[in-house]
Amino acid sequence: MKILVLVDGSMWGQKAAMHAVKLAKRKDGEITLLSVLDIREAKAMAFNFCMQSGMCEEIKNHEEKIWRDMKKSLNLAMADLVSHLSSENVVCTPRIVEGNTREEIVREVETGGYGLVVMGAYGKNAKSRVGSLPGDIAGEIPVPLLIVH
């Protein structure tokens, strides 16, 4: 069984990956860890910084720094997860893509031949994702979606 695990660098994404490891071991499965970097997130963070600090003349520099930091943080988190999954003797492929989160997830599911998608109940901002991202993708993907709490 091919399992797609959605990770965003949060502890919830890690919990989803650990749950997927258990499933992969039982089903002789392999895991793909997918993370989507969405530039809109960096733009929103830079805008919020601008509004709070009043330093709007520097917004482009803040956006670029936030974008670089997001990539670095996600790469480190992904490397840690890959290392852990490898130590569990689970075949694991990491994928980091840039684009619209919903669109990239749906595209990966449609082209990847997965039997299950696993994600955490919350994102890195600890805001509930139930009703947002799962609601966005659940009706568009042809496989079960498991939300780990």
- Boundaries of every domain in the chain: 2-148
- pLDDT, residue 117, reads 97
User: Do 139 and 111 meet the contact criterion of CB atoms below 8 Å apart?
Assistant: no
- Mean pLDDT, range 134-144, rounded to an integer: 85
Bigger pLDDT: 14 vs 126: 14
Domain 2-148: top CATH class: alpha beta
pLDDT value at 134 more than 80: no
- pLDDT, residue 109, reads 96
Q: Find, among 143, 81, 82, the residue nearest to 117 by Cα.
A: 143
Alpha helices for the chain (secondary structure H):
11-26, 39-53, 59-87, 101-112, 133-138
User: Do 114 and 144 meet the contact criterion of CB atoms below 8 Å apart?
Assistant: no
Buried b (16+ CB within 10 A) or exposed e, 92-108: bebeeeeeebbebbbeb
pLDDT value at 41 more than 70: yes
